[in-house]
């Protein structure tokens, strides 16, 4: 970044007084990157960042990321609908946006799309994050990502704040089954008879809940 700040602007960015900056200059800790013809000090943003690594610098090239996710391949139509909703929303508001799509459980923190999203946020390349529902990001732990967004100055927009439909309840049931599968395998052994029986019982419960009438 080549933007130059006056000593007053630099002091505000760093949260110190102008006199502190002058003292740092005398001690060789932070010297101005340039001087005006009138002898006024000018500082580059990157020079200030070397002093305080926690400074978040925003640039005009940051973009909106619209994130869509489904748990399994048989939900392809749901993924298409999510993307359509996100694209319509972002286009309507004139955002410069990119859509990131993921296929995987809401319990999986290592999905390719999610990893890409987090890297972009940490690199200060994202201005806002748009989701159709909160659970499209992660089933558990979304608040941690939102906290990172807040720290990096990223606006989070959740289009639908209300309850999600039955399809999302099906995903939740599958996610719960995934958790039980992992822990029962660790407890009894992946190939043990007891593990197999437990999983069969849980699978039956999940299938009964998914096929049950939501009004019952």
Rounded to whole angstroms, the Cα distance separating 13 from 26 reads 20
Q: Is 47 a catalytic residue?
A: no
* DSSP strands (E only) in the chain: 4-6, 34-35, 41-44, 63-70, 97-103, 126-131, 155-158
CB 32 within 8 A of CB 68: no
Q: What is the DSSP letter of 201?
A: H
Q: Which of 11, 71, 105, 184 is catalytic?
A: 71
- Which token pair is 174? 């599958």
Q: Residue 197: CB partners within 8 Å, gap ≥ 6?
A: none
Burial status of residue 191 (CB atoms within 10 A of its CB: 0-12, 13-18, 19 or more): exposed
Residues noted as catalytic: 71
């Amino acid at each position: 970044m080549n933007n130059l700040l006056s000593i007053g602007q630099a002091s505000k960015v760093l949260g110190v007084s102008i006199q502190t900056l002058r003292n740092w200059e005398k001690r060789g800790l932070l010297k101005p990157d340039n001087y005006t013809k009138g002898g006024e000090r000018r500082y580059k943003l990157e020079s200030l960042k070397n002093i305080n690594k926690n400074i978040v610098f925003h640039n005009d090239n940051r973009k909106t990321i619209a994130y869509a996710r489904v748990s399994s391949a048989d939900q392809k139509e749901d993924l298409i609908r999510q993307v359509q909703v996100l694209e319509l929303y972002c286009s309507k508001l004139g955002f410069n946006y990119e859509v990131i799509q993921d296929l995987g459980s809401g319990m999986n923190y290592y999905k390719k799309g999610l990893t890409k999203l987090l890297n972009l946020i940490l690199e200060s390349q994202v201005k806002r994050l748009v989701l159709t529902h909160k659970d499209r990001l992660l089933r558990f732990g979304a608040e941690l990502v939102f906290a990172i967004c807040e720290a990096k100055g990223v606006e989070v927009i959740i289009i639908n704040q209300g309850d999600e439909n039955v399809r999302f309840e099906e995903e939740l049931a599958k996610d719960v089954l995934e958790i039980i599968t992992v822990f029962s395998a660790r407890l009894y052994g992946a190939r043990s008879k007891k593990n197999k029986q437990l999983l069969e019982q849980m699978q039956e419960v999940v299938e009964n809940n998914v096929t049950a009438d939501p009004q019952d």
